[in-house]
Amino acid sequence: MIAKILVIAAFLVLLLFVLLPRHGARPAPPAASSRAGRAFAALCLAAVLLLVAAAVCAAFWMGATASGESGSPVLLRIAAVLFGLSAACGLAAFLKRP
């Protein structure tokens, strides 16, 4: 199921990449803005990766629970911690946006 969702998401991203207009070359920003832009991009990437990792942990936990096993609460705790870190990175990226 998660593979289907990821394939659909990848298809939508590809579709948006093809349909949206491309922008021309932009002038180089000052050095301070460049550092802020890199920090923003790094925080956004960290937030997305942590959110994906939290979703995978939660999916593993749900799969273990649905199959009749006890469903280790450790996976659920790890997913919660990863989600919290993702939210923190997202908030930091929001505050650091250029």
Residue 28: pLDDT above 70? no
* pLDDT for residue 87: 94
66 occurs within a structural domain:
yes
Residue 25 lies in a domain: no
Structural domain count of the chain: 1
Q: Is residue 44 part of a domain?
A: no
For residue 71, what pLDDT is reported?
Answer: 61
Domain that holds residue 66: 51-98
Token pair in block for residue 25: 């070359």
Q: Does residue 76 fall inside a structural domain?
A: yes
- As a whole number, the mean pLDDT across the chain is 81
pLDDT, tens digit, 9 for 90 and up, residues 41-60 = 899 999 999 999 999 999 98
* pLDDT value for 47: 92
Residue 27 lies in a domain: no
Residue 91 lies in a domain: yes
Question: Residues 47, 86: contact at Cβ < 8 Å?
Answer: yes
Q: How many residues does the chain have?
A: 98
